[in-house]
Amino acid sequence: MNEDLAAVLEWCRLNKLKINASKTKAMILGSAFNINLIKLDQIPSIVLGNENIDYVVSFKYLGVLIDQRLSWVDQVEPQSALLLRKQLAELNKNPVEGFSAGLIDDNDIYRWEVLIIGPPDTLYEGGFFKAHLQFPKEYPLRPPRMKFITEIWHPNIEKNGDVCISILHEPGDDKWGYEKASERWLPVHTVETILISVISMLADPNDESPANVDAAKEWRESYSEFKRKVARCVRKSQEECL
């Protein structure tokens, strides 16, 4: 039995599965919440279930082995974390003009803080706008959420700072028919492409589908008032960066 259990642990390691263990039971959890990749003929002595259901791996036997050989639970870093670390290293090595990016907490790769420099020849020129990106564990299959921390007045940014832009909308068809699937989130997007799109949005607002209705109305009907409010935000951002 010990040889069978050792084979299971090795199988888990090679397939990057996480072991969630206690003294009496353990389950092997796949990253997609589906562990039917384990077949009965591979580890028949300790797999319960059949070909039509997910498999729970062992109770007493695996628990005993874990007590003997493991004093901690082996956590395999998700692919999303590896991908984000790679992007962070690339941005540190080759900075992109117009923004800087880093982590809010060095121990949490899923929470980023970015500083966007107001693009030249726009109302936001000279501003320094901080924002947070919160990535889901399912990245890049699902988009992050983006929220400006610095006050900013823009048709496509809600008054609380939440960014509303097509590429940050969940993938697939828009049930309201306003956006094409190709305009929404795609797994090819990176921190760099997200921020470049947001910078472009600052320069060219979409007032037809606004997140801030008041800002959109001023953009169309009272542009001088819109400019005044944006200028105030730019000055405030400069003061906060001093």
167 C-beta neighbours (distance < 10 Å), count: 17
Annotated catalytic residue within 12, 164, 233, 241: 164
Report residue 240 as tokens.
């906060």
Residues 6+ apart with CB under 8 A from 34: 54
H-type helices in the chain, by residue range? 2-14, 60-69, 79-93, 191-203, 213-221, 223-241
Please tell me the total number of residues recorded for the chain in this structure: 242
For residue 138, which phi and psi values (nearest 5 degrees)?
-85, 0
Residue 164 appears among annotated catalytic residues: yes
Closest of 143, 234, 158, 238 to residue 197, by C-alpha: 143
| Catalytic sites, residue numbers | 164
